[in-house]
Chain A
Amino acid sequence: MSFPWAQQYKPTTEFGQWMDEKLPIGRLIYNSVGAGYPTPRNLNYMWNFGSLAGFFLVVQIVTGIILAMHYAANAAIAFDSVEHIMRDVNSGWMIRYAHANGASFFFIAIYLHIGRGLYYGSYKAPREMIWLLGVVIYLLAMATAFMGYVLPWGQMSFWGAKVITGLFEAIPLVGKPIQELLLGGFAPDNAALNRFFSLHYLLPFVMAGVIILHIWSLHIPGSNNPTGVNVKGPQDTVPFHPFYTAKDGWFLGLALIFFTGMMFFMPNALGHADNYIPANPLSTPAHIVPEWYFWPWYAILRAFTFDFLFVPAKLLGVLAMFSAILVWFFLPWLDKSPVRSGDYRPRFKKFFWFGLIPCIVILGICGGAPAEEPYVMLSQLASAYYFAHFLIILPLLSRIEKPEPLPNSITEAVTGKPLEQAS
């Protein structure tokens, strides 16, 4: 493991020893999320969202496998089969609402997890690979969520599928053939529904695989922490188990109160009423928006209402939307400041809290609003700021900013005493 003082796995039973020689899965768990993983002692609650996102992925997989037992991926009966789940299947309504709201909670967790990484510089060396894999997981999650939303085959499902595959049509020359290839037709129909179902079932397992890589690469340098200062010795860490298993467990309980509250008392609050109308290829709903977790990107897509040079607005919007996430792949090299934690970067902190975060919130609001003024102009301003933040502000800041003095160690930051007295 990462630190030489990590506790060693010692099987206590004879069976444990036998297993440890043949298939050391107990050792793997011990070293990954057990007492064998030394973790910074000062992690705050923002470090709870990784395990929470993992939990909600499991919720999605379990409820999803169950829903697939009752759902029929056929354009003629898909909508009815969802109503069958809601009305006839024992507890089907609960399982479907858990799945629908579980997606939202997964994204809540993953956004706070990403935000934690952005603020505390978790993407910086030596943790670049963890960040890059995280972006891949996020992209997979977006694809999975989009295709899942198509499956009920309601109005929002159908038009969501049409609009999102329409993005590919913007690609010059090959756009149209690509769209037809993706849909297996000229508009969403049975072929598209079937392949979306197949992929919606597959991708979460791909995600699980990338998550294993994500955690693997995390365990090489070990977790970042709110000070961003490297772990210097055993006094800076506590074993993951029982300290963070207990903290994650308690936090999971808290999150489940909100989750079950949503699920049982306002299960459709985050959905769209239009999706309870069966898909109608001849009539588009008046106000078509994606699920809330896509709103910021949707706003960037719609912000481009003008052609620029020889590039049509449609293509610009699509390029901008994809770039808004792809820029994250370059983040570890755009932000060159050697100081990780935003706590010790006075200017970065201001740009983060008063620039990036409000900008994404505004994009989110605009993405959920109708495509009219003032939302279009606001989206344009916010999109401009968004890209400026990553491409101009962060590289510049890392040159001109004077960071505040860092604590000598995590322990010193926690206890307020120099290291010698801390122990």
Chain B
Amino acid sequence: MASVDTAVEPSDSAVSEPEIGGVRRRDFINIAAVSFGGVGVVATVFPLVNQMNPSADVLALSSIEVDISAIEEGQAIKTSWRKQPIFIRNLTASEIEAANDVDLSGLRDPESLADRTQPGKENWLITLGVCTHLGCVPLGAAQGEVKGEYDGYFCPCHGSHYDTAGRTRKGPAPTNLEVPEYSFLSDTVVKIG
């Protein structure tokens, strides 16, 4: 009867194979095969993960055009962009003044009203209606809603107060309400995104 050792084929004796250029043939084959397989695995896994990114139909909705002709001074509207609320606010002269009177050095996220609006259109404050704390929709855009201590927006979830320029002034919100990319197509139509 054969001994246990013969369970292993003689071909496995490659360990005693001579080296070619300092590299054992079997090591080379092994590393080459595993590397090639690794590249294949990465190439396969990429689309399997990437499929979770926004699909073409979601990206197709990524810009909107809004008619702002009906928004009177002191009014604001809520609209929806990328499934998120957008606040478009027509500031009054006193609100603009209040926003410009603030000492920027005292702000958590120092930005002037001019930084957050477009030249010549300082009365149009366009921001995401998403609290920068944890994503609730702040109050203050619709008529009769609480506007907070700084007469801008107030987030009821955790008590963040924004001023008339949509800047964070009090409460846990770390940054000002986000201003999306937008442009005026005419005096009455604005394109967001």
Contact = CB atoms under 8 A, between A and B. Distances in A.
A238 B8 CA distance: 6
Contact of B1 (A38, A69, A233, A243): A233
B103 interface: no
A92 B51 contact: yes
A423 B2 CA distance: 6
A84 interface: yes
B48 interface: yes
Contacts of A38: 7
A91 B2 contact: no
B7 A91 contact: no
A270 B62 CA distance: 38
Nearest to A256: B40
A41 interface: yes
A90 B47 contact: yes
Given A88-B57, A233-B1, A239 B8 contact: yes
A257 to B, nearest CB: 12
Interface residues of A, number: 28
A92 B53 CA distance: 11
A235 interface: yes
Contact of A84 (B1, B7, B57): B57
Interface string B28-59: 00000000000000000001101111011110
Nearest to B58: A88
Interface in B66-106: none
B16 interface: no
Contacts of A63: 48
A95 interface: yes
Interface residues of B, number: 18
Contacts of B50: 90-91
B51 A95 contact: yes
Q: Is the interface of A mostly helix, strand, loop or mixed?
A: helix
Contacts of A91: 47-48, 50-51
B4 A62 contact: no
A403 interface: no
Given A88-B56, A90-B53, A91-B51, A41 B9 contact: yes
Interface string B145-189: 000000000000000000000000000000000000000000000
A233 B2 contact: yes
A402 interface: no
A266 interface: no
Q: Which of A63, A90, A238 has the most CB of B within 10 A?
A: A90
Contacts of A353: none
A235 B55 contact: no
A341 to B, nearest CB: 22
Nearest to B1: A233
A240 to B, nearest CB: 12
A333 interface: no
A237 B52 CA distance: 46
Contact of A94 (B2, B9, B47): B47
A377 to B, nearest CB: 47
B55 A423 contact: no
A5 B3 CA distance: 10
Contact of B4 (A5, A41, A419): A5
B41 to A, nearest CB: 12
Interface of B: 1-4, 6-9, 47-48, 50-53, 55-58
16 contacts: A5-B4, A41-B9, A63-B48, A66-B51, A69-B52, A88-B58, A90-B53, A91-B47, A92-B55, A94-B47, A234-B3, A234-B7, A235-B6, A238-B9, A423-B3, A423-B6
